[in-house]
């Protein structure tokens, strides 16, 4: 999964894309395209390595720099959804970019940092645990408000709310496929639901999983 075709690296910021999307929406009264939100493939990191909380912080920083474990193949269902999309978007983290590239068949992918994963600051507690266990501890602690100076749950919820609106605006021009992250994808769900978008195809939360949303107002 490493290397391969290039992607467009500019962020899909509001000033850059909202004007043409708004023009497209005004020009057409048809129903917006579907939104497919995918989780990345399996990263090239050892989640069973044992460590303390300080070592986990370093592990998580390396995780954010890691690409995908070699030898993976995207599911044909996700490739087909990607092929159907008008707009392809990925988080700026390597694991999401490589996932998008694996599905995009050489098409241009826009990278946008508003879709990066919510942070995972571990609680400062004693003990040696596997990285995957620290991930559970860190997510629970973060969810309860212990962000340790990083982006808080409330801040990420606001980010996800704006990102959901962004995806909806993009869908006015046709179907959208987003390649992002497990927890952040979950945080997009209620923001989409509040705007009348319903999940019509649920492929779970595993690596390479995806969900399809459609406007049901």
What secondary structure does DSSP assign to 35-89, as a single string?
Answer: EEEEE---BSS-TT-EE-HHHHHHHHHHHHH--BPTT----HHHHHHHHH-SEEE
**pLDDT of 189 over the 80 cut:** yes
What's the confidence (pLDDT) of residue 30? 78
Whether 94 maps to a domain, the answer reads yes
Whether 4 maps to a domain, the answer reads no
Whether 107 maps to a domain, the answer reads yes
Q: Which domain holds residue 143?
A: 14-18+29-215
Whether 199 maps to a domain, the answer reads yes
Q: What are phi and psi of 48, to 5 degrees?
A: -100, 0
First to last CA, the chain: 39
Instruction: Give the number of domains in the chain.
Output: 1
Angstrom distance (rounded) from CA 85 to CA 102: 15
What's the confidence (pLDDT) of residue 162? 98
pLDDT in tens, 105-147: 999 999 999 999 999 999 999 999 999 999 999 999 999 999 9
Whether 23 maps to a domain, the answer reads no
Whether 95 maps to a domain, the answer reads yes
What's the confidence (pLDDT) of residue 98? 98
What's the confidence (pLDDT) of residue 23? 33
- Written as six digits, the tokens of 178 are 């987003």
Angstrom distance (rounded) from CA 129 to CA 134: 6
Q: What are phi and psi of 77, to 5 degrees?
A: -60, -40
Residue 106, SS3 per DSSP: coil
Lowest mean pLDDT among 18-22, 66-70, 168-172, 206-210: 18-22
Q: In terms of DSSP H, where are the helices of the chain?
A: 14-27, 53-65, 76-84, 94-104, 131-143, 153-171, 182-194
Q: What are phi and psi of 168, to 5 degrees?
A: -65, -40
CATH of the domain at 185: 3.40.50
pLDDT in tens, 1-33: 443 333 444 444 332 333 334 333 433 447 899
Whether 1 maps to a domain, the answer reads no
pLDDT in tens, 57-101: 999 999 999 999 999 999 999 999 999 999 999 999 999 999 999
Whether 5 maps to a domain, the answer reads no
What's the confidence (pLDDT) of residue 28? 44
The pTM score is: 0.85
């Amino acid at each position: 999964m490493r290397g391969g075709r290039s992607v467009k690296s500019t962020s899909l910021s509001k000033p850059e894309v909202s004007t043409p999307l708004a023009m497209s929406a005004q020009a057409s009264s048809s129903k917006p395209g579907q939104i497919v939100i995918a989780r990345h493939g399996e990263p090239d990191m050892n989640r069973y390595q044992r460590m303390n909380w300080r070592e986990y912080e370093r592990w998580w920083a390396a995780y954010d720099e890691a690409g995908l474990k070699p030898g993976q193949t995207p599911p044909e269902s996700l490739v087909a959804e990607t092929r159907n999309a008008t707009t392809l978007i990925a988080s700026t983290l390597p694991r999401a970019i490589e996932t998008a590239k694996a599905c995009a068949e050489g098409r241009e992918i826009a990278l946008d940092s508003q879709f990066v994963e919510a942070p995972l600051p571990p609680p400062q507690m004693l003990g040696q645990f596997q990285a995957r266990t620290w991930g559970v501890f860190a997510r629970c602690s973060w969810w309860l408000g212990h962000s340790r100076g990083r982006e808080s749950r409330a801040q990420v919820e606001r980010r996800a709310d704006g990102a959901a609106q962004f995806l909806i605006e993009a869908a006015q021009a046709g179907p959208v496929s987003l390649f992002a992250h497990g927890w952040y994808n979950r945080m997009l769900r209620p923001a989409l639901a509040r705007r009348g978008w319903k999940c019509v195809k649920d492929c779970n939360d595993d690596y390479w999983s995806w969900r399809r949303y459609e406007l049901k107002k």
